[in-house]
Amino acid sequence: MFPERLRALRKGQQLTLEELARAINKDSPTDKEHESTGSQIGNWERGIRTPNYVEIQRLAKFFDVTMDYLTGLTENNTYDLAKLFISDKSLQFNGKDLSSKDRYEIYQLISGYVHGRSNVPHEQGPRTEQGRLDI
């Protein structure tokens, strides 16, 4: 499970093995002897080698997932967007950084949408300018 999740997380961020190694080393500095390498990460993804606890911890921190998720002990299918928008993490949309003003505006839009949706009876269905949309 670990190799598949690591590969999916890396490819999801469109990183090469070497780029991930550099990013982890920058994000969680360690001495030169214990730095991650692209070939080492490749071996983890192929299941040839298994990372130690500290390496899994560094990967989980970088990808912002739990160690349990990374190692396959739990599923992580739910993300709280509100927490993400108020976090100190850098957010991007289509490769462009979102400013704090952008983040606030998007948060307000989502909040308004979710709040408004909860007040609309579900049997009415989505609406268009002409009336109810038949689905």
Average pLDDT over residues 18-37: 86
pLDDT at 20 over 80: yes
Write out the two tokens for 50: 């298994």
Average pLDDT, the chain: 82
8 Å CB contact between 24 and 44: no
Interstrand relation of 131-132 and 127-128 (parallel, antiparallel or unpaired)? antiparallel
Domain range list for the chain: 2-70, 81-122
Q: Which residues is 93 bridged to in the sheet? A: 96
User: Cα–Cα distance between 120 and 45 in angstroms, integer?
Assistant: 46
Residues 1-18 have a mean pLDDT of 92
pLDDT digits (tens, 9 = 90+) for 28-54: 777 777 888 999 999 999 999 999 999
- Number of Cβ within 10 Å of residue 57's Cβ equals 14
What tens digit of pLDDT does each residue of 84-122 get?
Answer: 777 777 888 888 898 989 888 988 898 888 888 776 555
d(CA 125, CA 129): 13
pLDDT for residue 16:
96
As a whole number of angstroms, the distance between CA 105 and CA 114 comes to: 14
For the entire predicted model, the pTM comes to: 0.56
Residue 77's SS3 state is coil
What confidence score (pLDDT) does residue 59 get? 94
CATH 3.10.20.600 is the classification of domain 2-70 = no
Q: CA-to-CA distance for 39 and 17, rounded, in angstroms?
A: 7
Cα-Cα end-to-end distance for the chain: 39
